[in-house]
Amino acid sequence: MPVISSKKPYRIGRSRTGLGLFATKPIKKGSKIVRYFGPLLDSKKKKDDAVDNKYLFEISNRWTIDGSVRKNIARYINHACKPNAESDVSARKRKVVIRAIKNIEPGEEINYDYGTDYFKIFLKPIGCKCDACEKKRKKKRAEARAEKLRLKLKAEKKVAKKAVRATAKSRGKTTIAKGVVDKGTITKATVAKTANAHARGTGKPTKTKAARTKSLTTRPDQPASPALASQASSDN
């Protein structure tokens, strides 16, 4: 790890993604922080064009800075989707300087946006770990947990409702069955009581005395039997 002068407003320290560059003094917006430097690679040369590492900083179609050298302190600055610094590229001078775009307080990590191409090639496959993306992930995780809890409570409520309905239905069947039994008992008792009443002669007769007498009386066109005639004469 390179030694940094105490006069410099930054230090190398542990970050979420490994090593990072942190402010040790207040850095004002617009001020230069550090230069990004290293050997210049010419894309027209096969040897230079064959170099491949994650510290290559393209400044034009032809020239690229190979910032993999350890003396390049700017190589420790990490990417951020919402950075506090930016790269100021001078293609004519073939020079890149990192400048603050916000006031940076001591202890804050210095970061800048690496660009769309770098993000797609190196960061997207593993997931960006900057503060902004981490906050989004935390929010999504919290929303997922809340949704999972909501669905769980909904399922439990549904099960509880089914249990209540099943209990109510079971009680209803028991009440209906009991009513049928009571009704049947009363009916049988009433029938038995009525039968006993008829047997004792206290019930309503099925036929009246007049009806029975009428059934024994012959028709007018038929002669009366001697027994009935004699009974009629004695009654007169």
pLDDT at 74: 97
**Residue spans per domain, the chain:** 10-127
| pTM of the predicted protein model | 0.61
CATH topology of domain 10-127: Beta-clip-like (2.170.270)
Summarised one tens digit per residue, pLDDT across range 38-63 is 999 999 999 999 999 989 999 999 99
Q: Which amino acid is at 100?
A: A
pLDDT at 236: 45
Q: Check: CB of residue 3 under 8 Å from CB of residue 31.
A: no
Residue closest to 98 by CA, chosen among 82, 120, 118, 76? 76
Summarised one tens digit per residue, pLDDT across range 92-112 is 999 999 999 999 999 999 999
Query: What stretches of 115-130 show up as alpha helix (H) in DSSP?
Result: 116-118
